[in-house]
Amino acid sequence: MNPSIPRWNPDESPLEVAERVAKALAETAVQRDQSGGTAKRERDLLRESGLLSLAIPRELGGWGAAWPEVFAVVRRIARVDGSVGHVFGFQHLLLATLRLFAEPSQWQPWFEQTAKNSWFWGNALNPLDQRTALRWDGEHGRIDGEKSFCSGALDSDMLVVSAIDQGTQKLVIGAIPTSRAGITLREDWDCFGQRQTDSGSSRFEDVRISRHELLTVPGPLGSTFASLRPCIAQLVLANIYVGIAQGAFDAGRTYTSEHGKPWFTSGVSRASEDPYVLRTLGELWTDLEAARALTDEAARSLEASWQRGDALTREERGATAVAIATAKVQSTRSGLEVASRVFEVMGARATAGKARLDRFWRNLRVHTLHDPVDYKLRDLGAWALLGEPPKPSFYS
Amino acid sequence: MNPSIPRWNPDESPLEVAERVAKALAETAVQRDQSGGTAKRERDLLRESGLLSLAIPRELGGWGAAWPEVFAVVRRIARVDGSVGHVFGFQHLLLATLRLFAEPSQWQPWFEQTAKNSWFWGNALNPLDQRTALRWDGEHGRIDGEKSFCSGALDSDMLVVSAIDQGTQKLVIGAIPTSRAGITLREDWDCFGQRQTDSGSSRFEDVRISRHELLTVPGPLGSTFASLRPCIAQLVLANIYVGIAQGAFDAGRTYTSEHGKPWFTSGVSRASEDPYVLRTLGELWTDLEAARALTDEAARSLEASWQRGDALTREERGATAVAIATAKVQSTRSGLEVASRVFEVMGARATAGKARLDRFWRNLRVHTLHDPVDYKLRDLGAWALLGEPPKPSFYS
Amino acid sequence: MNPSIPRWNPDESPLEVAERVAKALAETAVQRDQSGGTAKRERDLLRESGLLSLAIPRELGGWGAAWPEVFAVVRRIARVDGSVGHVFGFQHLLLATLRLFAEPSQWQPWFEQTAKNSWFWGNALNPLDQRTALRWDGEHGRIDGEKSFCSGALDSDMLVVSAIDQGTQKLVIGAIPTSRAGITLREDWDCFGQRQTDSGSSRFEDVRISRHELLTVPGPLGSTFASLRPCIAQLVLANIYVGIAQGAFDAGRTYTSEHGKPWFTSGVSRASEDPYVLRTLGELWTDLEAARALTDEAARSLEASWQRGDALTREERGATAVAIATAKVQSTRSGLEVASRVFEVMGARATAGKARLDRFWRNLRVHTLHDPVDYKLRDLGAWALLGEPPKPSFYS
Amino acid sequence: MNPSIPRWNPDESPLEVAERVAKALAETAVQRDQSGGTAKRERDLLRESGLLSLAIPRELGGWGAAWPEVFAVVRRIARVDGSVGHVFGFQHLLLATLRLFAEPSQWQPWFEQTAKNSWFWGNALNPLDQRTALRWDGEHGRIDGEKSFCSGALDSDMLVVSAIDQGTQKLVIGAIPTSRAGITLREDWDCFGQRQTDSGSSRFEDVRISRHELLTVPGPLGSTFASLRPCIAQLVLANIYVGIAQGAFDAGRTYTSEHGKPWFTSGVSRASEDPYVLRTLGELWTDLEAARALTDEAARSLEASWQRGDALTREERGATAVAIATAKVQSTRSGLEVASRVFEVMGARATAGKARLDRFWRNLRVHTLHDPVDYKLRDLGAWALLGEPPKPSFYS
């Protein structure tokens, strides 16, 4: 990373920077979908762009972007590259995790260093995988065990890790340098979609952690405000889904304009005049817009709740959680529909292997399984019927 | 109507007034769905409420509400009564028609008198029905012929009428008192839904019309700004659809809370704990929210275009038209789905005749046929593929 | 009823007779959908037609039709009249109930008399409503209490009733003349669909029943063969759904041929050339065919199981139950879709009140709520995943 | 191929043989989906199995299977391997092409030799690609040009080719050995699905063809009976779709049984008890059964039409074409739905790259684009509305 590149440029908006980054990512997205592995060059591009500090307050060296802007940038990246969109989206989630679960004396220096050094944060937090144990030896903690689904941990500068405290049997979360002794990040992520998220497994062997590296005040979901963390996580996902679906739609539009052929019984001379091509695109457009509009609304709701800080009430948090769950359900439905049906507009030749246009569906199919949509629907039904907001957990 | 009732009360918002009106309408909505006919008492209630002047500028005696607020009120009314929601929504459409197609010297007095006298405007404009002819006899025009789908014409104070000028063979539109000699409004509206919209037929026999009653400058769709008229019409429809669907959802929620019974193999003791009841409600909630969010966005887009006045460009108008078409498609899809499937939450006993809970589907099914959703999808596909905004017509 | 009309005419097939009956029913179906109440004339028409004995063996005076033929006739009737189709379908269900739950010495005479006297059987069996109690006074039983959803009980000649035996607390089922003292059948059925099924409530006051009138050997679901009863019930429903949906499709086809108008921007001169009209009809056709084919298959499966008699195994019964559940789910989905969307082919004018074309959706919406489709899906999922056939109950 | 293997074994049914072949194919299907290329070993396995002669009459050395049995075997193969299912299905299509377009003196020897030598037939017929030209030089024809989508041409023994006769400008079809001089079959098929169908391109350079190798009596679609060819082609596709979808469902069932985990808020201890897992499987089961039932029905209809031979009327052919089009639409819809949604049952870990469970969707997505489903729906709509059967072409 070139340290001379300014973090925050008053002459260029985050979306303008993202536009440049997206163009660069697009050039190699197809090849990298094939190869999988760590998107090292692309991660460095993000480091250089300064966008890793997008959500960090200006007084700590960042851009100070509000959530709607943060998500717009995440979506722009995901539109050309679902995997990089994912790890980039998680950067902001992990920073928010520090902000929500720890004390200012902890997160402020981390934020400043992130802005200054363009730290990329990685995830080793999966709370459903409880194989990592924390033991105390006087002042020093030691973490041992395995952790799965560690998105973006490889090539990260800092890690957010979770473990079960063997004394209290509670989940604790900490932040440590990725380079700390005893951490092995495996290059074993090989799903059929989101292939460069490095969401593989890691091993912790006698990894030292200090008390000041633990996020214990207020701790995981430790206050109503802190319980916004899963809301942010879910909305990152929804925006990645919308971004990927927009990418699929872009592909459909471009391909049809450039290569589309009318069916021999259509009676028209161009695919763009075919009544069925137009109708299908109109349906997919509407699907996509429904997801986008709800996701945009949810970002505004999150920002409002975020601004409330510790004054945030359960009702306000609940309304935000519902808006986000709604957006996530719709972006799941719309995304899969668009990514699968868009081929009906393009026709058989669009399935050529080298274009890898199936990657949009593969990316969405993999990522939308993060947590089951049926349980999201159950939450929404309970809200609609009983007025009960989703009970805060790491997934709602 | 009590003329002492103030048009604009600074202490009460339009939505608060609408809330009171809606409660009154709800009391008799079921009975009136059965009887059909003119909702005379309810129309008078709207006259008394002052809400007929909602969109009229304050300087002309109205509330000066912006479009988003106007549509919120329309939707609130439609939520309890689709028919009254329709004629109330058309009030604002018809006033906008005057504003867009005529000169200030024409619409300003009409607006003032509407605000002062709580005039209810009726529709006799259906441009697809070209059986009304206008002939000139020196300064005096005479209209003869039939017109169908004259929503809200019965019990109206003023009428917006259209006819084919026999000289030019063009469509002309005028505004005349409903009481003018020669007009027969038939009580022949009898569809299975939207039963009190009085969308029946009318007969014009040698009906006099003066030149200053014609909306000829800029005339029907006579400028880019004037071509916002169909946009407003379509967005009135979308809001009525959303309102009716919300009414269906309300019914489902209330019924299930009060009368729902769990299925005997469900293993739960209350319908509100049934995983399928909750899931279905979650799906319908999401459907509804998608329609609502897009419809809200479209209202903001319309307001922005409206504020541009004669400076409105074709591109800006196009973007608004697309937003509205998208909202209309989604509210059609969501509305029908919600109104039909909500019974799966309530169960068999909710089909009791006296509750007439089928009215939501009937109202939506009738009203969503106003113009074909497939051609709306075609427009959206052409926009998405070619960047061509919908060509202005009375339906797009 | 004219006793000179032969029950079984070798020169005319049941479907030919049904065709004649259907034509007669069609003439008044619209009017009777409005009036509701008992379809007395139409029930008598069925009595006169001999079709009430369709499933009764020839040696007992009936037509000896196999199940596929029985269901084809039920469907034909439901295609023009969902309500009469329902009570006619239940005739065969109730006769099968006698056959399956009672001894030959009981059902044979009942069958013979049904064939000879054209008895119409009515239903007072709803097993989920346990308000009717049976008490024994020596040899004589007495039934007291209320029973809901008694389809076809009014104007019936014989009733199948259920009650809870106060000694054993078990459900017992019996067959008694409808005219027996103490039975009050209320004309209180008033749902928004299936309006002439007379599925109202009844009251039993000290109604005598003899031991030989009880169906106790093998009794309700008393053997694997006897547990075919709910299979038959569910398949009657599926066939009524398919019939009603076909009626809706017929209406769409006829209306569009006779009155359809192309949309003004369609570029075609007849509705039958509109690409979207054709596409939508193609979709509805496919929906309908999927339901029909599965329902036909299920009838063949039922017939095979029926022919097995007491040799029927649980596995064979299970396969039939799965085929029927699949048909019921598909006919529910397809039916509602066809009955609602067919208006998109016909256009706005098809919603005229006097044609009452909404009745297909209303009939299907009411009837498909008989038992929840979600629990049917759960059964099918358990079958698919675990190989567990649906557990016999009165609904599976 | 071992010539000692009997073509027709009276002790083993075709489905039993297919079962053995399918098991062998299943062992390497995942690896071959990755590698692509020609399935040489698997094609030889089919040669050895004798199943290439499945549809050849017994008197000519084949099994004499009727169409329903042929399709059952095709489906069984496609269930484990969509690509091999495709080329195997096309074997029967190409033999039928000989039978329908040529004289007995032509097809009988070809059939006999196919049975005797286990010839695998390849396709170079794509009628929409008109770049191959036939020129006559006295008695000898010469073919030059390119042809795309030549499924199964590589490793074939015989080829069915088409070209435009430069004299008549009509499409002519012939049958020649694949080894004939001047034919270059390119290994350039590389789509993201159906990766071993070898549906690549070929080049013809001065390729000799004799008059007796041309199928000119009655010629392509040259009689009503001959016009069954596209019906067979379409039904091969429908059966491949059903087979692939069944394969996806099998995977979902097996995976869930063996590896499924309940969601942490589900309240159940096994995935197989999760109400949503069961419900989704029930939906997919129903989707699949609808496609299967219609496809089975279509096969029976085809067989009936086939048996009619030259007596086949246009009406009979039309009814068969409609049944097949209906089956194709439903299997397209159901197949894509099952292959995409089945992951919602299995959960996130089922997306592991090595299992390649996305191959079902990829195979279906590629293959269902063979010809546009919207035009199939248009045909069905025209049939439903006007009674017009699909106009015979190479795609209907």
Beta strands in C35-139 (DSSP E): 121-124, 133-137
Residue whose tokens read 């698997």: D42
Q: Which of C52, C239, C247 is nearest to C152 (CA)?
A: C52
Angle (nearest 5°) at CA A174 between A172 and A177: 155
SS (H, E, C) B69-127: HHHHHHHHHHHHCHHHHHHHHHHHHHHHHHHHHCCHHHHHHHHHHHHHHCCCEEEECCC
Q: Does B42 touch chain C (CB under 8 A)?
A: no
Q: Does B286 touch chain A (CB under 8 A)?
A: yes
What's the rounded Cα separation, in Å, for the pair B354 and B34? Answer: 9
What's the rounded Cα separation, in Å, for the pair A316 and B262? Answer: 31
Of all residues in chain B, the one with the smallest CA distance to C374 is B276
Beta strands in C243-293 (DSSP E): none
**Which one-letter amino acid corresponds to residue C241?**
Y
Contact at CB, B369 and C351, closer than 8 angstroms: yes
**Which one-letter amino acid corresponds to residue D358?**
D
Contact B332, B241 (CB under 8 A): yes
Position A37 scores a pLDDT of 96
Position C139 scores a pLDDT of 82
Q: Does B332 touch chain A (CB under 8 A)?
A: no
DSSP secondary structure letters along B289-324: HHHHHHHHHHHHHHHHHHHHGGG--HHHHHHHHHHH
Over 90: is that where the pLDDT of D370 sits? yes
Cβ neighbours of A65 (radius 10 Å): 23
Position A5 scores a pLDDT of 44
What's the rounded Cα separation, in Å, for the pair A9 and C222? Answer: 81
**Which one-letter amino acid corresponds to residue C281?**
L
Sequence-ordered list of residues with C-beta below 8 angstroms from that of A37, at least 6 positions apart, any chain: A187, A195, A196, A198
- Which residue in B369, B370, B378 has the most chain C C-beta atoms within 10 A of its own C-beta, making it the best mutation to test that interface? B369
- Which residues of B are less than 8 Å from D276 in CB distance? 275, 279
- Which residues of B are less than 8 Å from D279 in CB distance? 276, 279
Angle (nearest 5°) at CA D163 between D159 and D167: 140
How near does any CA of chain D get to the CA of C271, in Å?
10
Mark C334-350 as b/e (b = at least 16 C-beta within 10 Å).
bbbbbbbbbbbbbbbeb
Distances (CA, A) of C272 to C349, D94, D323, D379, D385: 16, 36, 21, 12, 7
Contact C90, C194 (CB under 8 A): no
What's the rounded Cα separation, in Å, for the pair B83 and D149? Answer: 57
Q: Does D351 touch chain A (CB under 8 A)?
A: yes
Does the reported pTM lie above 0.90? yes
Average pLDDT over residues C233-251: 98
Q: Does C380 touch chain D (CB under 8 A)?
A: yes
User: Which stretches of chain A drop beneath a pLDDT of 70?
Assistant: 1-10
Contact D333, D244 (CB under 8 A): no
How near does any CA of chain D get to the CA of B378, in Å?
14
Of all residues in chain B, the one with the smallest CA distance to A286 is B326
Contact at CB, A369 and D351, closer than 8 angstroms: yes
- Which residues of D are less than 8 Å from A366 in CB distance? 348, 351
Contact B281, A381 (CB under 8 A): yes
Beta strands in A109-229 (DSSP E): 121-124, 133-137, 140-147, 158-165, 171-177, 183-185, 202-210
Q: Give the confidence band of D113 by pLDDT, cuts at 50, 70, 90.
A: very high
What's the rounded Cα separation, in Å, for the pair C326 and C380? Answer: 7
What's the rounded Cα separation, in Å, for the pair A163 and A134? Answer: 6
Of all residues in chain D, the one with the smallest CA distance to A192 is D353
Q: Does D137 touch chain A (CB under 8 A)?
A: no
Sequence-ordered list of residues with C-beta below 8 angstroms from that of C9, at least 6 positions apart, any chain: C17, C50
Contact C153, C202 (CB under 8 A): yes
Contact B174, B142 (CB under 8 A): no
Of all residues in chain A, the one with the smallest CA distance to C274 is A275
If phi > 0 it is left, if psi is from -120 to 50 it is alpha, else beta; for residue D219 that is: left
How near does any CA of chain D get to the CA of A51, in Å?
29
What's the rounded Cα separation, in Å, for the pair D247 and D82? Answer: 9
Q: Does B371 touch chain C (CB under 8 A)?
A: yes
What's the rounded Cα separation, in Å, for the pair B299 and B70? Answer: 9
User: Which stretches of chain B drop beneath a pLDDT of 70?
Assistant: 1-10
Cβ neighbours of C147 (radius 10 Å): 26
Contact C149, C131 (CB under 8 A): no
- Which residues of C are less than 8 Å from B329 in CB distance? none
For D219-254, how does the pLDDT look when each residue is reduced to its tens digit (9 = 90+)? Answer: 999 999 999 999 999 999 999 999 999 999 999 999
- Torsion angles phi and psi, residue B360, rounded to 5: -65, -45
Q: Does C378 touch chain A (CB under 8 A)?
A: no
Position D301 scores a pLDDT of 98
Contact at CB, C191 and B351, closer than 8 angstroms: yes
How near does any CA of chain D get to the CA of B255, in Å?
24
Token reading at A127 = 């709370």
For C168-225, how does the pLDDT look when each residue is reduced to its tens digit (9 = 90+)? Answer: 999 999 999 999 999 999 999 999 999 999 999 999 999 999 999 999 999 999 999 9
Q: Does B289 touch chain A (CB under 8 A)?
A: yes
Position B6 scores a pLDDT of 45
What's the rounded Cα separation, in Å, for the pair D95 and D70? Answer: 12
Over 80: is that where the pLDDT of D63 sits? yes
The residues facing B165 across adjacent strands are B134
Angle of helix A67-80 relative to helix A82-101, nearest 10 degrees, comes to 150
Sequence-ordered list of residues with C-beta below 8 angstroms from that of C268, at least 6 positions apart, any chain: C262, C274
- Cβ within 8 Å of B, C 181-220: 190-193, 195
Contact A57, A64 (CB under 8 A): yes
- For B3, which DSSP code? T
- Which residues of A are less than 8 Å from C378 in CB distance? none
Position A106 scores a pLDDT of 98
What's the rounded Cα separation, in Å, for the pair A323 and A319? Answer: 6
If phi > 0 it is left, if psi is from -120 to 50 it is alpha, else beta; for residue A356 that is: left
Distances (CA, A) of A122 to B322, B331, D316: 41, 41, 66
For C44-83, how does the pLDDT look when each residue is reduced to its tens digit (9 = 90+)? Answer: 999 999 999 999 999 999 999 999 999 999 999 999 999 9
DSSP secondary structure letters along C145-196: EEE---TT-TT-SEEEEEEEETTT--EEEEEEETTSTTEEE-----BSSSTT
With contact defined as 3+ CB pairs under 8 Å, the chains touching A are: B, C, D
